[in-house]
Amino acid sequence: MPSFTLDEILECTGGMLLTGRGGRCRVSGVSTDTRTIRPNQLFIAIKGENFDGHDFLFKAVKLGATMLLVSRADAPRPRGAVIVLVKDTVDALGAVARHHRLRFPIPLIAITGSAGKTSTKELVAAVLRRKYRVLFNKGTFNNQIGVPSTLLKLTRRHEMAVVELGTNHPGEIAWLARHACPTVAVFTNVGASHLEGLGSLAGVYKEKAALLAFLPDNGGVILNADDLYWRKLLGRRSSRKMVSYGMHAKADIRALSVIPGPAGLHFRTGHGHHFSVKSFSPGGVYNALAAIACGRFFGVPEGQIVDAVRSTRPAKGRQCSFKAGGVTVIDDTYNANPVSYMNALQLFHAPRRGKAILVAGDMLELGASSDALHADVGKAAAAAGVDVLLTYGRGAKLIGEASRRIRPRSEWRHAGDQDALTAALKKILRPGDVLLVKGSRGMRMEKVVRDITVFLKG
């Protein structure tokens, strides 16, 4: 658990001491949530959309916090606590995490892109763990709270760290990179994600590419050479080591002879090594290639890379496939954007005995391009041979309409809620069918997966 003196906190945050005597005050650990606070920790009062940490200062002290970081001069002042006033508590959290990260001169790999970040991170961490003691963020802790929280878990036992950087507005990648101090950047792709905040594909690229400014001159860049945006970096002169991966371009690490197998896709690289990944989507191959590139970059033995890629299972909600009642259920409900939708639809090209059924929820945060992008997914669904399409949400209805125009004989139903989706599935599903459920996080499509799984196993 990281330890900080009051002087360190004041220096790294630029804060001002409001109450308490400095002396030898030292805290062990940092918390932003009173539900997990421990004695003698620093409590940072974060203000979110639905809560304000300043409302829990007395509770934090009662539970053992001995130092508080606040951004309101009029905040409550529990007796006995050292209270430091800062301009912004989220920035202060980042500053404390950065201060702690700089205690450890170890490589830190930062992964960003429009789709595949979490799956790539899981594979990269799995590969690197074959040779190193690796810290990596659990789940999708990729924002201004999650990344600092991960950095604060660094200890002397770690030899390397892997973090995922997400964004939905300009400047967020720069903020995260400034505090994480990466040494290697991994770029997956540029696609139509978070256009509401980032405006355009060029805006997405500019935001993601901001990571480059925070790499050291002797750092590394691992990029997808098949992506039109990241490919531009290949011609630039740089002191950084650059490694490219892909399936179609002349990449340093290239997947050849991609074929489906019983549990996923198989491919070989130009070096003659054979790999398998637990995914039937091209996106799964790209994720694996990025992990292979990281493994080779850091000298992981090739056999260990092969085994790590083969044995890594998709995280829950990210093209996680399982059988229930003879039906293949693919849970891809964690999030959705046009890139991830197109990748997911490739799953229907795998061998199957029954119907291809897609349950589609809205893609959120796409701004003015939302209608056109939903229609594009509908066209792709028709091209992928979807036999039955169930939609939920205003945008998803456009998916159905676009698909129906191309495949008028396919079955399409639009539902007003998730229970109606489940009810329709109960009548449609038969052994041998392949069911894909997808939608943005805010659509809560995992409820459909949960309910239909209970029915199929019942």
Q: Summarize pLDDT for 412-444 with one digit per residue, the tens.
A: 999 999 999 999 999 999 999 999 999 998 999
> 93, 94, 77, 95: which is closest to 12 by C-alpha?
95
CATH of residue 47's domain is: 3.40.1390.10
- Residue 99, domain member (yes or no): no
- Residue 194, domain member (yes or no): yes
CATH of residue 372's domain is: 3.90.190.20
Q: Tell me, yes or no, whether 203 and 119 share the same domain.
A: yes
Residues 276/261, Cβ–Cβ less than 8 Å: yes
Does the pLDDT of residue 311 top 70, yes or no?
A: yes
Give me 67's structure tokens.
């130092």
CATH of residue 291's domain is: 3.40.1190.10
Runs of H (alpha helix) within 189-281 = 195-198, 201-209
Q: Tell me, yes or no, whether 80 and 136 share the same domain.
A: no
Banded model confidence at residue 233, pLDDT cuts 50, 70, 90:
confident
With pLDDT > 90 as the criterion, what percentage of the chain qualifies? 74
> 318, 372, 25: which is closest to 192 by C-alpha?
372
Q: Tell me, yes or no, whether 267 and 358 share the same domain.
A: no
Give me 366's structure tokens.
């796409």
pLDDT at 421: 95
Does the pLDDT of residue 208 top 90, yes or no?
A: yes
Residues 448/437, Cβ–Cβ less than 8 Å: yes
Give dist(CA 36, CA 246) in Å, integer: 42
- Residue 131, domain member (yes or no): yes
Choosing from 311, 346, 373, the residue where a domain stops is: 311
pLDDT at 238: 80
Q: Tell me, yes or no, whether 78 and 155 share the same domain.
A: no
Choosing from 54, 87, 120, the residue where a domain stops is: 87
Query: What does the pLDDT average to over 315-321?
Result: 85
Q: Identify the H or E element spanning 38.
A: none
- Residue 98, domain member (yes or no): no
pLDDT at 274: 93
pLDDT at 232: 86
Name the domain count of the chain. 3
**pTM greater than 0.85:** yes
Choosing from 292, 311, 330, the residue where a domain stops is: 311
pLDDT at 22: 61
pLDDT, tens digit, for every residue of 247-281? Answer: 987 899 999 999 988 788 999 998 778 999 988 88
Q: Tell me, yes or no, whether 130 and 79 share the same domain.
A: no
Does the pLDDT of residue 168 top 90, yes or no?
A: no
Q: Tell me, yes or no, whether 64 and 190 share the same domain.
A: no
- Residue 291, domain member (yes or no): yes
Q: Tell me, yes or no, whether 327 and 186 share the same domain.
A: no
Q: What is the mean pLDDT of the chain?
A: 92
Q: Tell me, yes or no, whether 244 and 299 share the same domain.
A: yes
pLDDT, tens digit, for every residue of 31-50? Answer: 999 999 999 999 999 998 88
Range of the domain at 57: 3-87
Angle at 115 (CA atoms; ends 111, 429), nearest 5 degrees? 140
**Burial bucket for residue 248 (CB in 10 Å: 0-12, 13-18, 19+):** exposed
Q: Tell me, yes or no, whether 119 and 262 share the same domain.
A: yes
pLDDT at 23: 61
pLDDT at 75: 92
Q: Tell me, yes or no, whether 39 and 145 share the same domain.
A: no
Q: Tell me, yes or no, whether 306 and 213 share the same domain.
A: yes
Banded model confidence at residue 350, pLDDT cuts 50, 70, 90:
confident
Banded model confidence at residue 349, pLDDT cuts 50, 70, 90:
confident
Give dist(CA 120, CA 191) in Å, integer: 16
- Residue 97, domain member (yes or no): no
Q: Tell me, yes or no, whether 307 and 163 share the same domain.
A: yes
